Amino acid sequence: MRSRAGLLGIGLLALSEAACAPVARAAPPASTALTFTDDQLARAREVRDRALQDDTAYELLRSLTSRVGPRLAGTPGDAAAVAWALEQLRALGFQNVRAERVKVPSWRRGECRVELLSPWPQTCAAVALGGSPATPAAGIEAEVVPVTNLDELARIDSSRLAGRIVFFTGRMNRATDGSGYGRAVTVRSRGAAEAGRRGALAIVIRSVGTDRNRLPHTGAMRQDSSDTRIPALALSNPDADMLEDQLASGRPVRMRMTNTSSWADSTWSANVIGEIPGRERPRELVVLGAHLDSWDLGTGAHDDGAGVAIMTAAARLIGEAKSRPKRTIRVVLFANEEFGLSGARAYAREHAAEAGLHVLGMESDLGAYLPLGLRSRVPADRLPAIRQMQSVLAPLGVEYRGNDASGDADVGQLVPLGIPVCDLDTDASEYFDLHHTANDTFDKVDPLLVRKNVACYAVLAWLAADLPAGFGRAPAAPATTATPARR
Ligand SMILES: [Zn+2]
């Protein structure tokens, strides 16, 4: 466990000029310079140091979680979040504040109940996965068949699955980079569809999470139009352990489940946008993204209220800086990341014609944890500028990690348009204890870590918006990226 006193020490002690050691270059050649001047780096350090004293983001997050709370796409909470965001951006002095409408799916959680009937009756803590159909009113009662993952499911004879409830037992591993998530989440995404195709009546999964709380983790399941739709629930990790212990007895385990979730017609939400205009080239943009929606069980404090607050506060600090950068900072609070990336896809579609004006994109969607690393996806001749940007963050403990940034779930949708991106890696080792659970609440957020995140994005955005030559076009992304690890 980290102590707050320790973090404060790191934040304030390490910022001496000597520690910064920027890789500055001599006088810039007009508008085509590929690197930053000493003066630009000094201004970025000023922005950084002000961010480390500023609680605007933390107070925004307090406001979002207390006044809006859960905001699943298409719900009244989502509409309240859009209204909240418009009001906050205007109050903080953003320009061109607007909501761009986005069509979103509409799924509502009902009540769910899971009971083990035999050999030893018990009730399990469970939640429906997002998108799960309801059970028949009388519920589904069947024998449980344990399966580790989708690979094992594919090897099992379908006759063993037909008429049964499949229990996916695979555990998510804790990791600083959150990489356990990408491996574990496949059963949440596709477990129901694959088990349904083989005749199963329903699935339960071990929660995709690293905690030992009796709080199940929800999250989206992916369904294609040709899939057989069967109910899909997640058990808390302790309940999954208990179910495994009953199965280990070798006796058949019978389960009864009921679930009353429902679907309605798609409805409207919005991407909320606000801008800090640049002083020389206001049509050119640096995008700071986060997602405004959340799951419905908690108040979406880390996921992704923190990102909303951090990016908004970072842009506002730039707006208040003594010298604004050449280009505009555009904050985009995306609609419905959690349940299909609706907002990011709509933004990429509707802003494709101005892709060339987007100089760089970044997204905060891995919780407000300790920043550890910077990744970029820029042409090779821009890497010296990226290293200068990292040098301003080095006193905060941020190292450079390579030119393989994904842009994350939402801003990653801009990479196919050739828009360069950067990722800020944070310590994700505790994030998946509360991700998509009722425990994702404001009290779990450390204000000092929020400040550090704001400082990092404010520095990166200020410098990116002021690099004379810009960042050109992004090198092509590989077919698979790290994106799923971050949702
Ligand atoms: Zn998220």
What digits encode the pLDDT tens for the residues 96-120? 999 999 999 999 999 999 999 999 9
Which two tokens mark 138? 């009388």
How many C-beta atoms lie closer than 10 Å to residue 37's C-beta? 18
The pLDDT of residue 482 is above 90: no
| Rounded distance between C-alpha atoms, residue 137 and residue 232, angstroms | 15
Rounded distance from Cα 211 to ligand 1 centre (Å)? 18
Instruction: Give tens-digit pLDDT for 333-356.
Output: 999 999 999 999 999 999 999 999
Q: What is the pLDDT of residue 458?
A: 98
pLDDT recorded at residue 486? 47
Ligand 1 mean position to 160 CA, how many Å?
37
Q: Which residues hold their Cβ within 5 A of ligand 1, which is an ion?
A: 303-304, 365
- Which has the minimum average pLDDT: 1-5, 323-327, 398-402? 1-5
Ligand 1: distance of its center to the CA of 334 in Å? 10
CA–centroid distance, 262 to ligand 1, in Å, is: 23
% residues pLDDT > 90 (the chain): 89
Show the CA angle centred on residue 219, arms to residues 217 and 224, nearest 5°.
145
In the structure, what pLDDT confidence band is assigned to residue 16 with cuts at 50, 70 and 90?
Answer: very low
pLDDT at 70: 98
Quick one: average pLDDT of 473-486? 60
Q: Report CA 253 to chain centroid distance, whole Å.
A: 37
Query: Is the confidence at residue 7, as pLDDT, over 90?
Result: no
Instruction: Give the Cβ contact number of residue 402 at 10 Å.
Output: 12
Confidence check: pLDDT of 26 > 70:
no
Instruction: Report d(CA 12, CA 452) in Å as an integer.
Output: 10
Burial class (CB in 10 A: 0-12, 13-18, 19+), 84: buried
Q: In angstroms, what is the span from residue 444 Cα to ligand 1's centroid?
A: 16
pLDDT of 447 over the 60 cut: yes
Q: Quickly state the pLDDT bin for 3 (edges 50, 70, 90).
A: very low
pLDDT reading at 47 higher than 80: yes
The pLDDT assigned to 9 comes to 32
| CA 304 to ligand 1 centroid distance, Å | 5
> Helix or strand or coil: residue 158?
helix
Task: List the beta bridge partners of residue 373.
Answer: 399, 425
pLDDT single digits (tens) 250-279: 999 999 999 999 999 999 999 999 999 999
Q: How far is the CA of 276 from the centre of ligand 1 (A)?
A: 24
pLDDT higher than 90, residue 303: yes
Residues 6+ apart with CB under 8 A from 353: none
CA of 343 to the centre of ligand 1 (A): 13
pLDDT at position 478 is 58
Residue 224 is predicted with a pLDDT of 86
β-strand pairing of 421-426 with 371-377: antiparallel
Catalytic site positions = 337
Share of the chain above pLDDT 70, in %: 92
Residues 218-255 as b or e (16 or more Cβ within 10 Å = b): bbbbebeeeeeebbbbbbbbbbbebbeebbeeeeebbb
Span from the CA of 348 to the centroid of ligand 1 (angstroms)? 18
3-state secondary structure of 91: helix
Task: Strand 122-124: give its sheet, edge to edge.
Answer: 122-124, 112-118, 254-259, 140-147, 165-168, 202-206, 232-235, 126-128
Q: What confidence tens digit (pLDDT) does each residue in 156-211 have?
A: 999 999 999 999 999 999 999 999 999 999 999 999 999 999 999 999 999 999 99
- Strands 140-147 and 126-128: what pairing? unpaired
- Residue by residue, DSSP assigns 421-459 as EEEEEE--TTHHHHTTSTT--GGG--HHHHHHHHHHHHH
Residue 140 has pLDDT above 90, yes or no: yes
Based on C-alpha coordinates, what's the Rg of the chain? 23
N residues, the chain: 487
In the predicted structure, residue 17 carries a pLDDT above the cut 80: no
φ, ψ (nearest 5 deg) of residue 436: 65, 25
Q: Given a cut of 50, is residue 487 above it in pLDDT?
A: no
